[in-house]
Amino acid sequence: MTEVREVSLRPIYDSRGALTVEAAVTTAGAALGCAGAPSGASTGTHEVRAWPEGGVPAALQTFRESVRPRLLGREVEDATGWDEALHAIDGTPNFAHLGGNVATALSVAAALARAKERGVEPWSLWARPGVDGRRFPAIVGNCMNGGRHAIGGPEFQEFHAISLAERPEDSVRAAVAVHHAIGKALQGKFPTLALGRGDEGGWVAPITNLEGLEILSAACAQVRDSLHLPVQPGLDLAASEFFRDGRYRYRDRSLDAAGQVAYLTELVDRFGLVYLEDPFAEEEFASFAEFTQAVGSKTVVVGDDLYTTDPIRLARGLTERASNAILIKVNQIGTISDALATVDAARAAGWKTVTSHRSGDLPDGWLAQLAVATGAYGLKCGILGGERVAKLNELLRLGALPT
Ligand code: PGA
Ligand code: ZN
């Protein structure tokens, strides 16, 4: 029986202390699925509306009055049907009535209830054709923060360890080792400074972009030497955040689009960067394409704010060859089914997908299940902090299951 016996929504707090919601779906067979909605700080303009007018309190009221009654008794067996019902109840093109975060929590909670009811791992319900659950994503692990996620840090938002070992026990070990090595390096560089950590658990220090890259690439090299595991540097620039009036504005320079392409191409070569997310602002498809043409054979070029997990924006990116990979954040588009449709379009074109957390997140593990289910190139979930390590631990658990 996969009919919904109870569905509820309650306010909870995310890792930043922001109010969000958790959905709980109970089936007639007493299987319970619970999921909370994460939230972003450097959000893309084209994401669905996270909350309706009036924020979380309004979302809770709408849920009680007009959503819950229409979901009770409904089948959760059919994932697409459940997610379509959320769209129908919402009645807007961007979840402005329900809130995309409410839709996300309800979509994921129903899927988790369905998996429990069947006694299977969630990834198997979400698995794309050809995925057998035995191939694991690279860890895209945030080690140092800047931009909107860290006051006083560099302009580049995230410095990543891209940990490429095949087995989760190795990839997680190497990612954690890079994070630790960076902590030591920063303590050595600033012996009297109280160092902090940013929203996604990466270190924050008063360094420049170039100093950050030097520290990151040295830490990756150190871990490659000591653990003999493949780990390489990568970046999420979140470039929309420092793009104004057609120029990328750094503390020490201001670059036009061509200048930014040249600057980043040089950084890719100099530091051996294997991953670059949002190197240009969110409407700059042409710059993305030029850059992908230059470095795409050796680097994963990822669109996050560029696509916002939206199949229509992805279609434009595919036509213009704007990148070779797309970031997948479920709450940018509102439901698991919508996110999977975008994944399918990317996979059909031979592009990589990267399954991603948000800067405000929760100690849930389902993101790792989604990454495995979609054959993702990467699981972008940070490294340290309870809400980050929960996803890595879920990946470890999946890696340890008997074949
Ligand atoms: P957000 O940013 O979760 O704060 O939107 C993360 C990212 O840009 O990848
Ligand atoms: Zn990003």
Return the CATH number at 9: 3.30.390.10
- pLDDT given for residue 403 in this prediction: 63
Residue 296 sits in a domain whose CATH number is: 3.20.20.120
Ligand 1: residue of 42, 157, 302 to mutate (most ligand atoms within 8 A of CB) is 42
Same domain flag for 159 and 247 = yes
CB 403 within 8 A of CB 135: no
- pLDDT given for residue 204 in this prediction: 94
Q: Looking at 119, 150, 183, which one is the last position of a domain?
A: 119
Q: Is 329 a catalytic residue?
A: yes
Same domain flag for 130 and 85 = no
Q: In Å, what is the CA distance from 125 to each residue of 113, 115, 234, 336?
A: 11, 7, 31, 11
Q: Into how many domains does the chain fold? A: 2
Same domain flag for 112 and 140 = no
Amino acid at 32: L
Same domain flag for 234 and 271 = yes
Same domain flag for 85 and 217 = no
Q: Phi/psi zone of residue 335: left (φ > 0), alpha (ψ -120 to 50 degrees), beta?
A: beta
- pLDDT given for residue 1 in this prediction: 61
Same domain flag for 81 and 169 = no
Same domain flag for 232 and 370 = yes
- The pocket around ligand 1, CB under 6 angstroms, is made up of 40-43, 236, 238, 304, 356, 358-359
Query: In which band, very low, low, confident or very high, does the pLDDT at 153 lie, cut at 50, 70 and 90?
Result: confident
Q: In Å, what is the CA distance from 375 to each residue of 34, 92, 351, 355?
A: 24, 31, 11, 10
Q: Looking at 86, 119, 152, which one is the last position of a domain?
A: 119
Same domain flag for 94 and 191 = no
Q: Looking at 97, 119, 141, which one is the last position of a domain?
A: 119
Task: Look at residue 211 and tell me whether its pLDDT is greater than 90.
Answer: yes
pTM of the entire structure? 0.97
Q: Residues 100-125, buried b or exposed e (16+ Cβ, 10 A)?
A: bbbbbbbbbbbbbbbbbbeeebbbeb
Closest atom of ligand 1 to CA, residue 41: 4
Ligand closest to CA 332: 1
pLDDT in tens, 154-188: 999 999 999 999 999 999 999 999 999 999 999 99
Residue 183 in 3-state DSSP? helix
Same domain flag for 178 and 320 = yes
Which of 329, 352, 380, 391 does the annotation list as catalytic? 329
Task: Look at residue 401 and tell me whether its pLDDT is greater than 90.
Answer: no
Domain housing 283: 126-400
Task: Look at residue 47 and tell me whether its pLDDT is greater than 70.
Answer: yes
pLDDT in tens, 108-139: 999 999 999 999 999 999 999 999 999 999 99
Q: In Å, what is the CA distance from 222 to each residue of 62, 165, 171, 262, 344?
A: 53, 16, 15, 28, 37
Q: Is 266 a catalytic residue?
A: no
Q: How far, in Å, CA of 361 to CA of 17, rounded?
A: 10
Quote the ligand 2 centre to 86 CA distance (angstroms): 27
Same domain flag for 149 and 205 = yes
Same domain flag for 147 and 260 = yes
Over its C-alpha atoms, the chain yields an Rg (Å, rounded) of 21
Same domain flag for 294 and 203 = yes
